[in-house]
Amino acid sequence: MSIFQRLFSVGKSEVNATIDKFEDPIKMTEQGIRDLKKDLNAAMMSLAEVKSQAIRLRKQVEDNKKASADYERKAMLLLQKAQNGDVDITDADRLATEALSRKEEADNRVTQLGQSATQQENMANQLQSQVEKLKSTVATHENELITLRARARTAAATKKINKQLAKVDSSGTIAMLERMKERVEEDESLSEAYGEMAGASKSVDEEINAALAGSSAGTDERLAALKAKMGMNA
């Protein structure tokens, strides 16, 4: 395989792959059914034409049968009139022969038209079975399309849900939640520690005051002595 052939094949496969992406199975099926219905319509119209042709031929057969009977009746009437002396026998024979000749022509047309009508009817029967087959195929595909549409809708919904689920970073979210939990716990521990610290630690002044708390009487004595020294009355 030459390099150009290979390049062409690669290009072809790429184009096919791109086209495949654009193919919507539902739309493609609908189009297929539309095409089939168009074919079915054309077949039905052809069949209608064949049947109407057969009807027309049968009508012509009936018309010629009537004409044949009419010519025979006229021929008989001419002979009767000749017999009764109403018409010249020679003229009557000539006209009756002519009438019988026309009757024969009409009879021949009855046979020919009858054969043509039978041919058309046979053709119509054959076409009818083909039309029925095509009709059944279209109906089957149309029913399948209903199921296909439902399946496609379910598939699309499932795809959407799965896509949404796939988008969720569950491990990241759980880690974040754990982190938040730890932070709350840390805050709680910290607050507890501060609480303990607040209960346990005393300032230096507080300690001095506490130590001096027990000698409050000595202070009073020293104050009285100071006052006495100064000559002041207590």
Partner 1 sequence: MNWNPFRKKEDESESIDPLDITLSNLEPGYVLDYDLKTWQVSAHHYYEYDGDRVDEWELSSADEVAYLECAKDDGFTYTFTRKIRVSELDADIPAHVNENEDPPDEIIHNHITYEADSSSIGRYFKNGQGTGDEFIVWDYLDESEKRTLSIEQWTDDQFEASVGEIVEDYQFTNILPGGITEKY
- 29 vs 53, which CB is nearer to partner 1? 53
For the bound state, the minimum distance from the C-beta of residue 149 to partner 1, rounded and expressed in Å, comes to 17
Among 45, 69, 180, 226, binds partner 1 (CB under 8 A): 45
Q: Which residues of 206-222 are buried (b: 16+ CB within 10 A; e: fewer)?
A: eeeeeeeeeeeeeeeee
For residue 163, give every residue at least 6 positions away whose Cβ sits within 8 Å of its Cβ, in sequence order, or none: none
For the bound state, the minimum distance from the C-beta of residue 90 to partner 1, rounded and expressed in Å, comes to 37
Helix axes 25-83, 89-167, angle to 10 degrees: 170
* Residue 55 in the binding site for partner 1 (CB under 8 A): yes
* Residue 40 in the binding site for partner 1 (CB under 8 A): yes
| Of residues 174-233, those binding partner 1 (CB under 8 A) | none
How many residues touch partner 1 (CB under 8 A)? Answer: 27
* Residue 51 in the binding site for partner 1 (CB under 8 A): yes
From the centroid of its chain, how far is CA 189? 61
- 41 vs 115, which CB is nearer to partner 1? 41
* Residue 69 in the binding site for partner 1 (CB under 8 A): no
| Among 53, 166, 160, residue whose Cα is nearest residue 116 | 53
* Residue 109 in the binding site for partner 1 (CB under 8 A): no
* Residue 44 in the binding site for partner 1 (CB under 8 A): yes
* Residue 88 in the binding site for partner 1 (CB under 8 A): no
* Residue 139 in the binding site for partner 1 (CB under 8 A): yes
Among 6, 12, 27, 38, binds partner 1 (CB under 8 A): 38
* Residue 126 in the binding site for partner 1 (CB under 8 A): no
HSE-CB of 76 using CA atoms within 13 angstroms: 7
Part in contact with partner 1 (CB under 8 A); list of ranges 42-50, 71-79, 96-104, 210-218? 42-50
Among 29, 112, 128, 137, binds partner 1 (CB under 8 A): 128
How far is Cα 21 from Cα 145, in angstroms, rounded to an integer?
A: 20
What residues make contact with partner 1 under the rule CB under 8 A? 37-38, 40-41, 44-45, 47-49, 51-56, 58-59, 61-63, 124, 128, 131, 135, 138-139, 142
